[in-house]
Amino acid sequence: MTHFIYCQSPRNLSAGGTVGYLTRLEQSFLKYRPTFTTDLGVDINFEFATKASRQQYIDRFLIDEERIYNNKLFDFLTRQKVKLSLKEWKIDNKCRRWFRETSRGASFITDDEAKSIHINGVYSFFPIWNRLKLKGQERNTLKILTTHNPAPPHVEELSLKESERKYQEKELKIFQKYMEMRDYLAFMLSDAILCPTPYSMESYKHWDKFDEILRNKPVYYCVTGAPKRPVRIKREILRQKLQIPQDAKVILYLGRKEKIKGYDLFVESAQFIVEKYKQIWFLVVGDGNLQDSVQHPHFIDIGFTSDVASYIQCADICVTTNRANYFDISMIEFLAEGKILLLSNIGGNKWLKNRINGVFYFNPEDAKDLISKIIHITSIPDEIILRMGEENLEFYNKNLTLYNFQDNYQKAIDKIRSDLGKDIFMRDRDQLDLDCIEISKSHEALNAFVRFTKDFINHKVTFRYY
């Protein structure tokens, strides 16, 4: 019995997102479970690409299913007799390819052994699903999906495209339709959803199709873990280098400079505080689309660095201002350094609530509340802050290390396979109608797909932004 975990990029411990998650997960098995076998005897097999490569497009993809796709999904533009410009046609053609790609690197899909596959990211779903289908194994392979997105992927991706300001409204509408259909099908074609906490997909509830998805899909949880990173530059030396007084209160923002991450809220708060509170400094580590900044000596933007731990160690308070939150690895790294956390009260951030005292919350998107909380925390006596930091470090050591990560993961996989494996691994493919798309085992889900397609055709699907 084998469980595969595939990543279409090389290993990278410095990365966040999917690549960082899977690299740390493999590292946890190497260190604490070198047999790569779960308690119930399932072999865990990590497959990383040797180099980043584009997925391969194949024209011979599933002729019978392609006919259904063409009739139900891809013709919504031509049905309405919409004339496309050359650029719009190229976007439309590019989006169609998402459903027809297969992964070059998924060469491990070659035999008929009963297996499960953990697919990370909706953008990776069809390349794996198509590969399974071509090998005749899709129906007896347990497919587990993790999105890693703090908000529904199509919402987050569309927001990024809008921020690029390269596309007209009609062009964005084409992306929008295909992205949401890709997300919907990835969820419906998967057999189970795996995410870090019950709060991680909180923002998905704004998607009007998500309740329908959850009615047809079991959800399992695996809390993430991360290693303690080495500190290369001591706190005192780094502060001296940055010309920050040793007794200053330093507020750290670590991550991408994007609206969904709430970077604009951090900048707005810093702009107000640096003018009134001379002992408070702000430190930014990361890059991104937003170029907002504060023109003040107490606001320092480092940009991207691989020496994250040194800057965490340099700070007094680590802030996460997300508008939507999955379960950030940076949050774990803050705890690993015994730092005080100030988090937006949303999504995966909520998992820490009432578990430790060294975590504070502010109302999402409320810069005034963020300012108030920063001022309050910086006024707490140092000895109390020190005790809170020690408690945070102790909580990390007990719950969020690499040991915890591999243990949580192997237990989750055993649970999923025990609950769902018997039905899926014993599917009799000869008795199934191979001319139909199996979105799930229920006719209700298939009908839901047809209804959703009609909504696309009739422009009834609505999208919400946050």
Output 333 or 111, whichever has higher pLDDT: 333
Q: Which runs of E-coded beta strand occur in 315-362?
A: 317-320, 340-344, 359-362
Domain count, the chain: 2
In angstroms, the CA 408 to CA 405 distance is 5
Measured from the Cβ of residue 365, the count of other Cβ atoms closer than 10 Å reads 15
Residue 341 has pLDDT above 90, yes or no: yes
Mean confidence (pLDDT) of the chain: 84
Residue 35 has what pLDDT?
A: 97
pLDDT tens figures, 11-36? 988 777 899 999 999 999 999 999 99
Residue 67 has pLDDT above 80, yes or no: no
In angstroms, the CA 425 to CA 428 distance is 9
Residue 54 has what pLDDT?
A: 47
**Same domain, yes or no: 305 and 159:** no
446 assigned to some structural domain: yes
Angle, vertex CA 221, rays to CA 217 and CA 223, nearest 5: 155
**Same domain, yes or no: 190 and 121:** yes
**Same domain, yes or no: 394 and 416:** no
Q: What is the mean pLDDT of residues 97-110?
A: 74
Residue 208 has pLDDT above 70, yes or no: yes
Residue 139 has what pLDDT?
A: 83
CATH number at residue 448: 3.40.50.2000
In angstroms, the CA 326 to CA 151 distance is 8
**Same domain, yes or no: 63 and 89:** yes
433 assigned to some structural domain: yes
Residue 85 has what pLDDT?
A: 78
In angstroms, the CA 222 to CA 410 distance is 9
Residue 270 has what pLDDT?
A: 97
**Same domain, yes or no: 380 and 411:** no
pLDDT tens figures, 361-391? 999 989 999 999 999 999 999 999 999 999 9
Of the residues 399, 422, 443, which one is the last residue of a structural domain? Answer: 399
Q: Which residues contact 284 (CB under 8 A, 6 or more apart)?
A: 252, 253, 257, 266, 299, 300, 301, 302
464 assigned to some structural domain: no
Residue 168 has pLDDT above 90, yes or no: no
String of b and e for 151-174 (b: at least 16 CB within 10 Å)?
Answer: bbbbbbbbbeebeeeebeeebebb
Q: Decide: 289 and 258 in contact? Cβ < 8 Å.
A: yes
Q: Check residue 258 and report its DSSP letter.
A: -
462 assigned to some structural domain: no
Tokens, residue 256: 């991408």
Q: Which runs of E-coded beta strand occur in 138-248?
A: 141-146, 192-195, 219-221
Strands 249-254 and 101-102: unpaired
445 assigned to some structural domain: yes
230 assigned to some structural domain: no
**Same domain, yes or no: 279 and 260:** yes
Structural domain harbouring 23: 2-225+403-457
Q: What is the distance, to the nearest Å, from the Cα of residue 185 to the centroid of all Cα atoms in its chain? A: 18
Q: Which residue has the tokens 């809220």?
A: 265
pLDDT tens figures, 274-311? 999 999 999 999 988 787 889 999 999 999 998 999 99
Q: How far apart are the first and last CA of the chain?
A: 42
Band of residue 62 on the pLDDT scale cut at 50, 70, 90: very low
Q: Percentage of the chain surpassing pLDDT 90?
A: 60
Output 436 or 330, whichever has higher pLDDT: 330
Q: Percentage of the chain surpassing pLDDT 70?
A: 82
Residue 446 has what pLDDT?
A: 43
**Max Cα distance, the chain (Å):** 74
**Same domain, yes or no: 364 and 267:** yes
327 assigned to some structural domain: yes
Measured from the Cβ of residue 332, the count of other Cβ atoms closer than 10 Å reads 22
Q: Decide: 353 and 317 in contact? Cβ < 8 Å.
A: no
Strands 43-48 and 115-120: unpaired
In angstroms, the CA 345 to CA 358 distance is 15
CA neighbor of 306 nearest in space, from 395, 210, 232, 397:
232
**Same domain, yes or no: 382 and 328:** yes
**Same domain, yes or no: 141 and 49:** yes
355 assigned to some structural domain: yes
pLDDT tens figures, 212-268? 999 889 999 999 999 999 999 999 999 999 999 999 999 999 998 988 899 999 999
Of the residues 379, 399, 419, which one is the last residue of a structural domain? Answer: 399
**Same domain, yes or no: 50 and 127:** yes
**Same domain, yes or no: 424 and 331:** no
Low-confidence winner among 217-226, 313-322, 348-357, 427-436 (lowest mean pLDDT): 427-436
Q: Check residue 306 and report its DSSP letter.
A: S
Tokens, residue 42: 């399932």
In angstroms, the CA 196 to CA 326 distance is 8
Residue 84 has pLDDT above 90, yes or no: no
Of the residues 355, 383, 399, which one is the last residue of a structural domain? Answer: 399
**Same domain, yes or no: 183 and 114:** yes
Residue 38 has pLDDT above 50, yes or no: yes
